[in-house]
Amino acid sequence: MIADLSVFVKYFLWVLIPYYVYQRKAIFKTFRFENIFITLGTLLTIELLIPYFLGVGRQTYASAEAGYKGFFFEQNSISFAFIITLTMTTYVLIQALQKKWGSKVLLLFLLFAGNVFCLFLLATKTAVAYAVLTVIYLLIRMIFKKRYYSNIQRVFVWVFTACAVVWIFLAGIPIASELISGTVTRMEYFYKVYNGDLLSLLFSSRNVFLEGAKNLFLNDPHFSFTLFGGQGFEYRLQNFGRLGLVEMDFFDLLFGVGIFGTALFIFMMVYFIACSLKRGGKSIYTFMLIVTLIYIFFVGHILFSAIATTFLGLICAGIVLTSDKKTMGEKTNTDA
């Protein structure tokens, strides 16, 4: 139980952060909340790129030279952090392109490129796929965006986009291929080990671990208690080894804290989802929350990682602030 305290401290960050922001919403409404994501994204990018170009840090799988993570510890959680910062950077960049340009646009482009490069350095399947899709989305939005500050900006965007597409095919794809070559080699190896089982390959054997972890949970000698209260996280790691951590957060949560703990999580998450989807409350934070829920279901290491739960907490805080602004606006219109 003492060992589990550190797990719960990290886990409850995603609830405590929005609560803290809500208590001080008058302060947080004095500046653009997305700047927090931009600042954190800048720091994360610098912290990964500097050791990479200095030739220090570590690979996720050293034997295959796959996935560079610098001095960060857990690859999935830092990948999630970069996915979220890339999402917000793209959103803010598209908004900035519609206004009069300045140094901010250049800095956002540099941050966008840094985020994408870092995701390729991390070289997880999810990170690479998300980076590629985001680049395609940005290029499409730049071309087909109807409103720009001037026609000169519109022409410049078209020319820049055309040059970017040419560069991607001539240089970008070879560079990206080199960065993820270790991961591709590793996937080819496990494809043979799994005898062509694509499901195990895509889930990195999590589906196999889930089956074993489920059996250990259901066959617990004290199942009448653990079904509702869980087996605890440290207990599972010490007694079940690799099967004690599935790396799919919804299931790890169920096995660790049981139905009661999982129900509390679902209740809180439904509250934030409802706030983000209510009339006039949809925002970039709604999309990021959806991405988070998909990520923690299939990948994991989010709810129990301090850096990842911090970002999840900031997303929920953004939902609270956005929802509160919409509510205040509706009340003002009603009073008028």
* pLDDT tens string 220-257: 999 989 999 999 998 898 989 888 888 889 999 999 99
The predicted pLDDT at position 125 comes to 86
The predicted pLDDT at position 272 comes to 92
Question: How far, CA to CA in Å, does 220 sit from each of 75, 227, 237, 283, 287?
Answer: 31, 9, 14, 44, 38
Global pTM value: 0.90
Residue matched to tokens 């803290």: 20
The predicted pLDDT at position 231 comes to 92
The predicted pLDDT at position 184 comes to 76
C-alpha 289 chain-centroid distance = 9
For the chain, list residues with pLDDT below 50.
328, 332-336
Spatial CA neighbour of 284 closest among 92, 96, 80: 92
Residue 172: exposure state from Cβ atoms within 10 A (0-12, 13-18, ≥19): middle
Contact 3, 303 (CB under 8 A): no
The predicted pLDDT at position 193 comes to 65
The predicted pLDDT at position 334 comes to 44
Q: Count CB neighbours of 138 within 10 A.
A: 21
Q: Count CB neighbours of 222 within 10 A.
A: 9
